[in-house]
A = this chain, B = another copy of it.
Amino acid sequence: MAKTIVLLSGGLDSSVLLYALKYEDHECIALCADYGQRHELEIVSALAIARDAGVKIVSANMAHALGPLFANAASSQVGKRVDVPTGHYADESMRTTIVPNRNMLLIALAGSLAVSVNATHIAYAAHAGDHAIYPDCRPEFAMAMRNALRLCNEPGLMLVTPFLHLTKAEIVARGHALHVPFKMTRSCYENRIRHCGLCGTCYERREAFQLAGVEDPTTYEADGANRERMDV
């Protein structure tokens, strides 16, 4: 049985990944990082998902340490310099949601934890929908990190990315089959209690449920506002 560190953000993809690996009998330890993300409420979701899945979770509270590194970042998700863009992921504006070198940093943290606890595998939920905007979700980046993890320690670590060529809709379908409590997951780039329904990841989340033909349990602020207007 593989002992596996699963990068768990509290979002839809990494939550389904956790349940999928559990289903495949991986002994999972979730790793959740506070890197100063604007959408820090996702950490609450990560803790809830790990608890529901019966998996131990380790938190890395990096926000303070990363503050000086991200101080000049032109990112909507760390620091206050840039607002969260609205609209579909395909839009050029979505590039401002990139967190500088985030996935290499998270994979490296997972590697440190893996070596410390003698885990052999690391898993992250990069998927096909992220490829266009996020370089660190693309197959060639994942392959490069797989190679680096194989060499960073003796014995080397194995990077597992089962969703690399799946669409988000296919991940929703997979999660549905695994009875993932989607309601507990959180995708929104804003940090309000309800999903905003307007940012790129809210668009993508909603679309994924529709394409998968799975009921979306998410309450979106944008819908509420529309309903209220219609009610008048």
Instruction: List residues of A whose CB falls within 8 A of some B CB.
Output: 31, 58-62, 64-66, 68-73, 98, 100-105, 107-109, 111-117, 135-136, 138, 140-141, 144-145, 147-154, 156
Q: Indicate if the CB atoms of A112 and B152 lie closer than 8 Å.
A: no
Partner of A68, one of B58, B70, B156: B58
**Residues in B whose Cβ lies below 8 Å from that of A107:** 104, 108
Number of copies: 2
Given contacts A60-B65, A152-B141, contact A101 B112 (CB under 8 A): yes
Interface SS of chain A: helix, strand, loop or mixed?
helix
Q: Indicate if the CB atoms of A58 and B64 lie closer than 8 Å.
A: no
Q: How far is the CA of A113 from the CA of B78 in the complex (A)?
A: 13
Smallest CB–CB gap between A11 and chain B, Å?
Answer: 20
Q: Indicate if the CB atoms of A65 and B61 lie closer than 8 Å.
A: yes
Partner of A109, one of B69, B71, B115, B151: B69
